[in-house]
Amino acid sequence: MPSNNTKSQQEKDLKYNWHPYAQMKELDQFPPPLITHSKGIKLFDESGHYIYDTIASWWCNVHGHAHPKITQAIASQAETLPHVMFGGLTHNPAINLSETLVNITPDTLTRVFYSDNGSCAIEVALKMSFQYWQHQNKPEKQAVLYLENGYHGDTLGTMSVSGVDVFHGTFSPWLFKAHAMPVPLTHPTLDSPVPISVDQAITTLEAHLKAHHHTTAAMVVEPLAQCAGGMRFYSPEYLSALSALTTTYNVHLIADEIATGFGRTGKMWACDWSGIAPDFMCVSKGLTSGTLPIAATLTTSQIYEAFYGDYHDHKTFYHGHTFTANPIACAAANASIALFAEEDTLKNVAQLSTSLNQHIHQLAAHPNFKNPRAFGAIAAIDIIDAKTNAPFPDSHRIPRLLYQAGLKHHVMLRPLGNTMYIFPPLCTTVSELEVIMEWIHTTINEVFGQ
């Protein structure tokens, strides 16, 4: 039972806070649990009740909560240099992090530009691409391509290149025009039961690029896994073809590795499955194992050189944020990246991936689920009304019911519309996953019946 302290804090939460992606009326009826501490893959409230962090705190936790090495790195950096501006000054945590990032990303990426969150990292890539073409005397290259159902953030620029209407439809009059390209999914979904083929997708993209490459600056994609768009996956074959086409038609490729990077798909980068080298790579979320907000946009020497010149050439990239390259966040990132080797994180992801795949396919035996799919440490399945074989009407509030029941049964479920998914910290063991899946079965039996 929550203590009085917890209860009054929850009341104050609802009095003063406005939570993200939340209908606050729902929260008034079912206040969010007050989390007081976290350890490993569990979140705790004051009474000791715990929830497995089955969505890795919005897809960013890699090595588990309160990992001593990351905590130590944060503490000692906070004691020596908590923050200093990155305009006109520099510091060791950022220098070391940039060197590491350049070493662990595709060879062509040689420069690192910091910002604070995933959306900003994409904005930076879009703006750099736009300005690059001006420096090349090709100012007409302005258009941006993205993949249907892609998601790249919630700022105005990133909303313009995203295809998830529920998030961004309201703001469409404010957004710049960008073009969606079809995605050859590797699995059916409720809204595309028969996905288009890789060949069809390539043909459409090639036709578009052939006709419009003169006016196209860049194409932005989530490599292989479209997360916010409903945990949809497409093949390395298509990513390779797409990358080759953008190169042929002289259009920048922006790889949004914000959700897929740092091991989520089983390799350090989803791009590694295709061996491609994009013009820009954007990373955030797992960069600090989800401990502090920071993001990076990596790019090539060719793009960097186009901005290099004398002051009066006016080639400067005028973009920055107050907390650019915050030293504590950089120190956390350095510690987190070191843990990949120390803890053999990718080996664990391989085991976790096999197990997630089996579990999600077993779940498909339940009459309220179909279209199981898994890739790396991501597993997803669509929710249906067993009577109609179609999605439940919104009035049934199924995502909300799963969330509420899940909290009681130690799991954090936040379905994306009609898609329930599991996105655990990468350190989750196969035996922990067994326990999590038992709780998920208990939860779904409570919501849908046996």
Ligand X SMILES: Cc1ncc(COP(=O)(O)O)c(C=O)c1O
- Please name the residue that has the structure tokens 């994306």: 416
Which one is catalytic: 114, 141, 146, 256? 256
Q: In sequence order, what are the residues at sequence separation of 6 or more whose Cβ sits closer than 8 angstroms to the Cβ of residue 401? A: 447
d(CA 370, CA 383): 7
What x/- string results for residues 124 through 163 when contact with ligand X is judged by CB under 6 A?
A: ---------------------------xxx----------
Out of 64, 118, 263, 376, point to the residue binding ligand X (CB under 6 A): 118
- Specify the stretch interacting with ligand X by CB under 6 A; choose among 180-188, 251-259, 308-316, 412-420: 251-259
Does 256 interact with ligand X (rule: CB under 6 A)? yes
In 300-394, which residue ranges form alpha helices assigned H by DSSP?
301-306, 327-342, 345-363
CB of 145 to ligand X, least distance (A): 16
Out of 123, 222, 382, 432, point to the residue binding ligand X (CB under 6 A): 222
Q: What Cα–Cα distance (Å) separates residue 120 from each residue in 20, 294, 296?
A: 17, 10, 9
21 is catalytic: yes
Torsion of CA 266, 269, 191, 439, to 10 degrees: 40
Does 242 interact with ligand X (rule: CB under 6 A)? no
- Specify the stretch interacting with ligand X by CB under 6 A; choose among 172-180, 252-260, 300-308, 338-346: 252-260
Q: What Cα–Cα distance (Å) separates residue 148 from each residue in 165, 232, 257?
A: 10, 11, 17
Are 102 and 340 in contact by the 8 Å Cβ rule? The answer is no
What angle do helix axes 430-448 and 398-408 make, rounded to 10 degrees? 130
Task: Find the distance separating the first CA and the last CA of the chain, reported in whole Å.
Answer: 28
50 is catalytic: no
d(CA 47, CA 36): 9
- Specify the stretch interacting with ligand X by CB under 6 A; choose among 178-186, 197-205, 254-262, 333-341: 254-262
Taking CB atoms, the residue at the shortest distance from ligand X is 118
146 is catalytic: no
In the bound state with ligand X, the residue whose beta carbon lies nearer, of 117 and 418, is 117
What x/- string results for residues 321 through 360 when contact with ligand X is judged by CB under 6 A?
A: ----------------------------------------
Q: Which residues bind ligand X (CB under 6 A)?
A: 117-119, 122, 151-153, 222, 227-228, 256, 258-259, 284
Active site residues: 21, 151, 256, 285
